[in-house]
Every structure is written in structure tokens, then in C-alpha cells.
Amino acid sequence: MALLREKYSDFGPTLAAEKLSERHNIRVSVETLRKWMTADGLWVPHSRCKPRVYQPRYRRDCLGELVQIDGSHHDWFEGRASKCCLLVYMDDATGRLMHLRFCETESAFDYMLATREYLDKHGKPVAFYSDKHAVFRVSQAETRRTGTTQFGRVLHDLNIDLICANSSQAKGRVERANQTLQDRLIKEMRLENITGIEEANAWLETFIQDFNRRFAKAPQYPKNLHRPVDESQSELDDIFA
């Protein structure tokens, strides 16, 4: 407990148990650690938290059928670097982190870079699910005009649907993933002494693999609905211009 108070006072029981085992060869079950941390005031049980108001939407059936995307602004490096944004791509059917990218702002340019990296890794999903950020939707209520953004044009050219949620609760899975990342990812980068965006982006794939091994679920059906990218590199350069 002295070690927890010194190094892991803001860690949850699951992550704390992992780090005690990995870094200090101390093996304590998560439930035992949860009881100790609760008694010591380091952890507040979920039963004391407010109940959910919104019923979760049913998951899609297949990997790649719907990929939720969102930008999370936060002090990711805890003062070791400037505040920035993490772009998160999460599969709806499995809860898998498909892609992460740190950037200075949540801009169309950064979403295009991250989406092209996504296509190189996984292929084309059936649809992306986002909020109504200006990157995804042009909406002028005073003129009742709705147009297509540059990012929307890119997805149209690639035959990928874009669905804009009406509320943050509607894309609750990626919102909850952001909360988990703001806890777990920050602490992992602290332990790895990562101090900037470039260094973090080079390391993120290691975190993604470990995160998915621990938390991803099997889809309802095993078919992967990602489609191959048939466009040539020059065609992709034009599309993403």
C-alpha cells in the first residue's frame, strides 16, 4: 500500500494490479486490491457513482461495419508537453481501438492524415460514426443550409458512409473509451517517460495491441467488413488533397 500511495495513487485497481505484477513482481488479485484501495481511500467503488441515464445502443454485428471516431482534447502529457488532441478510431462491434493519433488540434488536415493511416492498416470500413463537429458537417441553422465538408468529400470518394450522431450519448462507446484513455493512456505514457506528440505516435501501436488484448470483445459474426483499398497511391493523393 505504501508503494501504491507513492507511485500509483491515481491508478484504478485493475491497472494498479497490472503494474504491481509487471514492474515490481507483486501479484495481488484485482478484487483484493480493490478492497484494500477502497479501505485506504484510493478508490471509490462504481456502486457509489451515479447510475446511467441512457440505455446503450446495440453493437453492430461485424468488425468494420461501423467505426466511431472522435477527438479528445486533454493535457495528455501532464505538463511535459502542451495540451493536444487525440484522434480515436474505435470499432463499434468489438470495442477494439483501430487507430490512435495525437495532433495539435482537431482539424480536417489531421483527420485526413489519421484516416489515410487507418486505410493503410485496415482497409475501408462500411461507415464512420462521428459527432457534428465542423470537420464532418457544414450546418448553418440561420440559412437552413447543410453542405459537405472536405472530409465528407473524401469519404464520399472512397465510398465510405459518414453518420453524424445527434448527441454525445449516441456515440457513447467512443466517449467512454476516451475516459478510459484519459486514465490508462496518460499513466502508461508517464511510466514510459513519453514527452511529446511525435514520440507518442511512434509508441501508440504498442499501447493499442495491449489495450485490445485486455478489453476487445468478439463480434457477433466473424466476418470482417473492411474492404480493400483499390485506389492507387496517386489516386489517394488526389482524394486526400
- Domain 67-215 coded CATH 3.30.420.10: yes
- In this prediction, residues 213-229 reach a mean pLDDT of 95
Residue 51 has pLDDT above 70, yes or no: no
- In this prediction, residues 172-197 reach a mean pLDDT of 92
Query: What pLDDT score was predicted for residue 134?
Result: 86
Q: What is the DSSP letter of 196?
A: S
Which class for 239: exposed (0-12), middle (13-18), buried (19 or more C-beta within 10 A)? middle
- In this prediction, residues 109-132 reach a mean pLDDT of 95
DSSP string, 12-39: -HHHHHHHHHHHH-----HHHHHHHHHH
Query: What pLDDT score was predicted for residue 120?
Result: 95
Q: In Å, how far are 99, 132, 219 from 167, measured between CA atoms? A: 23, 9, 25
For the chain, the C-alpha Rg in angstroms (whole number) is 20
Confidence of residue 170 (pLDDT cuts 50, 70, 90): low
| 49/222: higher pLDDT | 222
The residues spanned by each domain of the chain are 2-48, 67-215
Query: What pLDDT score was predicted for residue 116?
Result: 96
Residue 130 has pLDDT above 60, yes or no: yes
Residue 78 has pLDDT above 70, yes or no: yes
Contact status, residue 173 vs residue 66, Cβ threshold 8 Å: no
